[in-house]
Amino acid sequence: MAEIVTAAMLVIGDEILSGRTKDKNIGHLADVMTAIGIDLKEVRIVPDEEDEIVAAVNAVRARYAYVFTTGGIGPTHDDITADSISRAFGVPCEYDAKAYAMMEASYASRGMEFTDARKRMARMPRGADHIDNPVSLAPGFRIGNVHVMAGVPSIFQAMLDNVVPTLKTGAKLLSATVHCPLGEGMIGGPLADIQKAHPDTIIGSYPKYLDGTFWTELVVRARTKEALDAARAEVEAMVLRLAPRS
């Protein structure tokens, strides 16, 4: 069986925690990771506070194969992700010569001043590699197993497209959905028995409510078709037994 590869995500920004900005990057990353065979195991949302970012980065980079961060690499004073990642790795945060020259030339070609604020976007940990940004030029970066990308969804998605080909992927999770017209309270016990009988699967129960009626969406996940089919058959039989079709 192929290796299982794991990942975590850090969403950085006070604006996410305050509700001012609604995150759109978690779902996109989850979709991409699932599609390529990487298990996204954890997502943390952290404020624009250096100590909190450092602690979160060091916690997840030691636990998972890959870490992806979004937010905090712009030109303003509260964009402190580059400084925080540098501190987490114990290296200086400094202007990257390639990024600096590329951005300086770009602003000059547009007749725009390369201000100190704009120069901040050329800073990254010493020894970091670029993550290209085809949307607005200022690069993200990778250091160790941590990939640092923009929070703006269109830029994050474009950067992620450039990251994906560099990643080691593992066994993909197959999935099947079984509709159940009953609420979770009716199926909790039997469903737990099925999960116990099929430890090589993940069986999720997702309650739904529509027009005064409760029902449940049951999702079976496994890394082999054989395991998936066996567990799904038992789930379908359980549903038929407890809620026979008229």
Q: Are strands 38-46 and 66-70 parallel, antiparallel or unpaired?
A: unpaired
Q: What DSSP line would sit under 9-49, residue for residue?
A: EEEE-HHHHHTSS---HHHHHHHHHHHHTEEEEEEEEE-S-
Q: Note the pLDDT of residue 212.
A: 84
| pLDDT by 10s per residue, the chain, length 246 | 568 999 999 999 999 999 999 999 999 999 999 999 999 999 999 999 999 999 999 999 999 999 999 999 999 999 999 999 999 999 999 999 999 999 999 999 999 999 999 999 999 999 999 999 999 999 999 999 999 999 999 999 999 999 999 999 998 899 999 999 999 999 999 999 999 999 999 999 999 988 888 899 999 999 999 999 999 999 999 999 998 764
Q: What per-residue confidence (pLDDT) applies to 111? A: 96
CATH H-level superfamily of 174-242: Ribosomal protein S10 (3.30.70.600)
- Asked if 104 and 183 touch (Cβ cutoff 8 Å), the reply is no
CA diameter of the chain = 73
pLDDT digits (tens, 9 = 90+) for 97-112: 999 999 999 999 999 9
pLDDT digits (tens, 9 = 90+) for 6-46: 999 999 999 999 999 999 999 999 999 999 999 999 999 99
* pTM for the structure as a whole: 0.89
d(CA 16, CA 47): 8
The residue assigned the tokens 């017209």 is 181
pLDDT of residue 171: 86
Helix (H) or strand (E) holding 125: strand 123-125
Identify the H or E element spanning 189. Answer: helix 184-197
Q: Where do the domains of the chain lie?
A: 5-166, 174-242
CATH of 5-166, one of 3.30.70.120, 3.40.980.10, 3.40.50.2020, 3.90.950.20: 3.40.980.10
DSSP H helical ranges for 37-183:
50-61, 81-89, 97-109, 116-119, 153-163
Closest by CA position to 188, among listed 237, 138, 244, 238: 238
Here the tokens at position 23 are 């995150």
